[in-house]
Amino acid sequence: MLIVGLGNPGSAYATTRHNIGFMVIDELIKKFNATPIKKSSFQGELYKFQDHYLLKPTTFMNLSGESIVAVKNFYKIDNVVVIHDDLDLPFGALRFKHAGGHGGHNGLKSTDFHITKEYIRVRMGIGKPEHKGEVASYVLSNFSDEENQHIPEWIEATSKAVSLLEKESWIDVASLHSRKKLKAL
């Protein structure tokens, strides 16, 4: 299984809403004590644990699919899971989906183009701005102080659910671990 977290490389983006996928991958790297794999053609930070791979593409969001397809093809991986931010869900929501549309998310557009839509999506709700014209600045903004209080628990819950995907179907994981929003907000 290849588990991908979408985000943008660099410290300027590390704590932004768009990087919630990277944050979950960082948690999984720690949880599984994953070993780094260095190969520049992967265009990303790749780690291995057991027979599974964790990937943070370093291509920037709009080109994420280039990194994903490179790793997928090199290791001949069929089972891909992509963790990403989702504007259409309230902050703290966690949903699972197989295939489907990209909803305007450029990282998913790139992924769909390079590997088709046949992958499991882990959708992490970040809420949405008041006006549509603010989407780009919103996804690249940091979480609020109140939201930041809940990020560690949300990331832990998501990493736990994602780690179950190796043994259980995504439908079973979704039925047990999906959530509409954080209870505290």
Condensed to tens digits (0 to 9), the pLDDT of residues 84-104 reads: 999 999 999 999 999 988 888
Q: C-alpha angle 176/105/156, rounded to 5°?
A: 35
Domain that holds residue 50: 2-177
- With 70 as the cut, is the pLDDT of residue 74 above it? yes
In a domain, 66, yes or no: yes
In a domain, 158, yes or no: yes
Q: Mind listing the pLDDT tens digit for each residue in 7-57? A: 999 999 999 999 999 999 999 999 999 999 999 999 999 999 999 999 999
Closest CA relative to residue 181, chosen from 128, 111, 133, 135: 128
In a domain, 183, yes or no: no
> Tell me, what's the pLDDT at 101?
86
CB 173 within 8 A of CB 160: no
> Tell me, what's the pLDDT at 104?
82
**Distance of alpha carbon 27 from alpha carbon 23, whole angstroms:** 6
In a domain, 139, yes or no: yes
> Tell me, what's the pLDDT at 138?
95
Whole-number mean pLDDT of the chain?
94
> Whole-prediction pTM value?
0.95
In a domain, 24, yes or no: yes
Give catalytic residues, as residue numbers.
18
Task: Provide the domain count of the chain.
Answer: 1
**Distance of alpha carbon 28 from alpha carbon 54, whole angstroms:** 8
Q: Three-class SS string for 86-108?
A: ECCCCCCCEEEEECCCCCCCHHH
CATH number at residue 114: 3.40.50.1470
